[in-house]
Amino acid sequence: MARASGYLKTGYGQQLVLVETRMQWMLLALLAAALLALPLFASFFLLDLAGQIFLAVIGAVALMLLTGIAGQVSLGHAGLLAAGALVTGILTQEAGAPFWITLPAATIAGALLGLLFGLPSLRLKGLYLGISTLALHFIVVFLGQEYETIRGFSTGISVHPPRIFGCELYDPAAWYYVLLAFDVVVVLFALNLLRSRTGRAWRAVHERDVVAEALGVSVFRAKLSAFVISSALTALAGAVFSYYRGFVSVEAFSLFVTIQYVAMVIIGGLGSILGAILGAIFVTMFPYAIEAALETTGLAAALAGYVFAINYALFGLVMLAFLLFEPDGLAGIWRRLRDYFFLWPFRKTPLAGGE
């Protein structure tokens, strides 16, 4: 893939552009065309899978901003998704609110929760911070369960499909385009954030907060803004998820969901938006891939009772393998592949290690 050389840049603006070369524009255009044309050929199942991936991308990008870029560990991700979904569910049920009220409301609720649960980050780091954000998860899930029991929605709160220009959003292909548009906006937002003052502050705080503070970056503001923006995006993803599924139930937001999102950013490669996207695709498709593999090998019938166990176990193994062998994740693999073709045939091979 053709990349712009650092030596040929003549201005600060050229350092900042997101798409550098004509080749990259062409590849992006190809990707866009493929994504736009997909619903013309895809089955219902594929469209649903794509929808799940698009939803996961929003959440993964949000977590990547917080954990991969700003370096703040969070285990409250499922709680925030649940908060967004619950706000949507409650507002539709209690007030019959349309989506243009529920989505901003869910976003604001997420931002407020992020502000509240970002406060410990000012004193805590690493594992300690992770544990403190875990509280968020349990509080939200508990409140959601209480609401569901009191109001008698123990099987879940149903959410009507959103009405846009008088027609209900129901068709899978229509949903596909809506979610795709959401993703494009979120990814562009994240990429632009990263090249802004805030994004630079986050990365500085991640790497050396003391130096950042010495240079005048407000660590207080950087950490809290990371929590607020990430949480708002996550809650938004939760709200969209509730519309997509048509109902809300806190059961859907177990701790395993948090683990899945953490896995997405780690497997994708911490610190890169591309990594968040690749990780979301990988983790979402993983169970389906395992299922397909079992089908094709003819083991499906024999192992029918163990599919979930196999899924969980393999998921754990894959995550472990990434941590051990590819700490830079899928984004790292992509970077290495790109460099390989970029340098070919001039790449130097390391000597075999002498023992």
Cβ proximity to other proteins: between 39 and 332 the closer is 332
Closest CA to 139 of 90, 76, 91: 76
Contacts of range 251-256, beta carbons closer than 8 Å, 24 or more positions apart? 251/156, 252/82, 252/85, 253/78, 253/79, 253/81, 253/82, 253/85, 253/140, 253/141, 253/144, 254/78, 255/75, 255/78, 255/137, 256/78
Q: Which amino acid is at 50?
A: A
Cβ proximity to other proteins: between 221 and 336 the closer is 336
What is the nearest approach in angstroms of other proteins to the Cβ of residue 349? 7
- What distance in Å separates the CA atoms of residue 318 and residue 325, rounded to the nearest whole number? 10
What is the nearest approach in angstroms of other proteins to the Cβ of residue 328? 9
Cβ proximity to other proteins: between 208 and 221 the closer is 208
Interface residues with other proteins (CB under 8 A)?
A: 336, 339-340, 343, 347-355
Cβ proximity to other proteins: between 151 and 336 the closer is 336
Q: Which two tokens stand for residue 339?
A: 């460099």
Cβ proximity to other proteins: between 166 and 345 the closer is 345
What is the nearest approach in angstroms of other proteins to the Cβ of residue 99? 46
What is the nearest approach in angstroms of other proteins to the Cβ of residue 342? 9
What is the nearest approach in angstroms of other proteins to the Cβ of residue 3? 12
Closest CA to 128 of 64, 75, 196: 75
Closest CA to 83 of 60, 54, 114, 57: 114
- What distance in Å separates the CA atoms of residue 223 and residue 236, rounded to the nearest whole number? 20
What is the nearest approach in angstroms of other proteins to the Cβ of residue 209? 18
Cβ proximity to other proteins: between 296 and 349 the closer is 349
The torsion angles phi and psi of 163, rounded to 5 degrees, stand at -100, 120
The answer to whether the CB of 221 falls within 8 A of the CB of 92 is no
What is the nearest approach in angstroms of other proteins to the Cβ of residue 228? 34
How far is residue 92 CA from its own chain's centroid? 25
Cβ proximity to other proteins: between 245 and 335 the closer is 335
